[in-house]
Every structure is written in structure tokens, then in C-alpha cells.
Amino acid sequence: QWQMSPRLVRIRNMVFDRQVTLLNCVDLETGNDRQFRLDRIKQATVMDPNPS
């Protein structure tokens, strides 16, 4: 079972399947690759890729 927790990630690519859409990401805090199901994301915020 999965647990909801906030993550700061950069999306590398998306995988589209007949039944599910997956986001392949890099966790910006740990540097680890992570995969998320789009239908399980409760909230997301787009961040500026070039902060001033």
C-alpha cells in the first residue's frame, strides 16, 4: 500500500499505457529515480525552472 507524502521532483518523461499514465521523475532531494502514477497524484505545483 502506498502512502501520500510531498516530493520535489523533476519529470524526465511520461509513459502512456492503455490503463495507466506514469511519470518517470528524479527526486531533487535525494537524486533517486522515482515513478509515480498520474491518477494517484493529489496536488502538484509547477515551479520556475530558472529561479532568479
Model pLDDT, residue 41:
93
CA atoms within 13 A on the CB side of 3: 1
Model pLDDT, residue 39:
95
Model pLDDT, residue 11:
96
> What secondary structure does DSSP assign to 1-52, as a single string?
--------EEEEEEEE-SS-EEEEEEETTT--EEEEEGGG--------SS--
The string of pLDDT tens digits covering residues 4-51 is 889 999 999 999 999 999 999 999 999 999 999 999 999 999 988 887
Model pLDDT, residue 17:
95
